[in-house]
Structure 1
């Protein structure tokens, strides 16, 4: 079963259970997936769906930060509930040791010698880490590794 089918099945279950919070988050996710498919005129695979989910999670985390600064706890709770639903569709995150091992392998495979080769390393890692690690944190780790 593809991730998209799983999301669709979960939407049906949320309807039956009358879980309005979960249903709302899933409907937003399905709309974002459909919009991406229409824009690009392709059927999204699991990797692309994961990228859409990751983007939505980042948007909601940013919103939570803004709402907290504005003192809007009601909106913080709503966004946090959506984040909880969306995180359930993300693949299992990698441990720091697994990420470090993948970085070492990518550095070896690309023949990276310094900071000028960071793009090569990131290009190798991005497909492997999509949705499974925070790419900003991975970038910091790569920089630290290439400076050695």
Structure 2
């Protein structure tokens, strides 16, 4: 079942349950998927859907951090619910140890030895971890291992 079909089913369930928070979030996700499909001119692949969901999650996490630093606690609870709902549609995120193991493997495959090889390592590791780990975590891991 495609992401759009899943979102449509969840939209119907949220309407029946009168769950306004879930309904609102699923509608935003559905609109994002539809807009991306229109922009691409074709149905999204599973990888494209994962990238889209990761982007939506990142936007919400950034907003959460901004609201928290601005003292807008009234908005944090709603945003936290949105983050949890979006995470339900993403594949299981890898732990820091799993990311480190994969990065170490790529470093040995590529033959990286210094910080100068950062771009080469990132180019090889991003496709393997796309949607399963945050880009910031990947970047920090690669930097720490190349020191």
| TM-score, structure 1 as length reference | 0.88
Q: What residue in structure 1 maps to residue 67 of structure 2?
A: 67
Q: Segments of 4+ in structure 1 off by > 4 A?
A: none
C-alpha displacement of 1:136: 0.9
Is the CA contact (8 Å cut-off) linking 1:112 and 1:121 kept in structure 2?
Answer: yes
Deviation readout 1:77-133 (Å, 9 max, x if unpaired):
221111111011111111233212211221122222322221121122112212221
Q: Do residues 119 (structure 1) and 110 (structure 2) align?
A: no
Q: What residue in structure 2 maps to residue 94 of structure 1?
A: 94
SS at match of 1:26: helix
| TM-score, structure 2 as length reference | 0.89
Structure 1: segments with no counterpart, 5+ residues: none
CA distance in 2 between partners of 1:136 and 1:105 (Å): 19
CA distance in 2 between partners of 1:47 and 1:56 (Å): 14
Is the CA contact (8 Å cut-off) linking 1:11 and 1:27 kept in structure 2?
Answer: yes
Q: Do residues 83 (structure 1) and 83 (structure 2) align?
A: yes
C-alpha displacement of 1:67: 2.2
Structure 2: segments with no counterpart, 5+ residues: none
Q: Do residues 17 (structure 1) and 17 (structure 2) align?
A: yes
C-alpha displacement of 1:57: 1.5
CA distance in 2 between partners of 1:73 and 1:48 (Å): 33
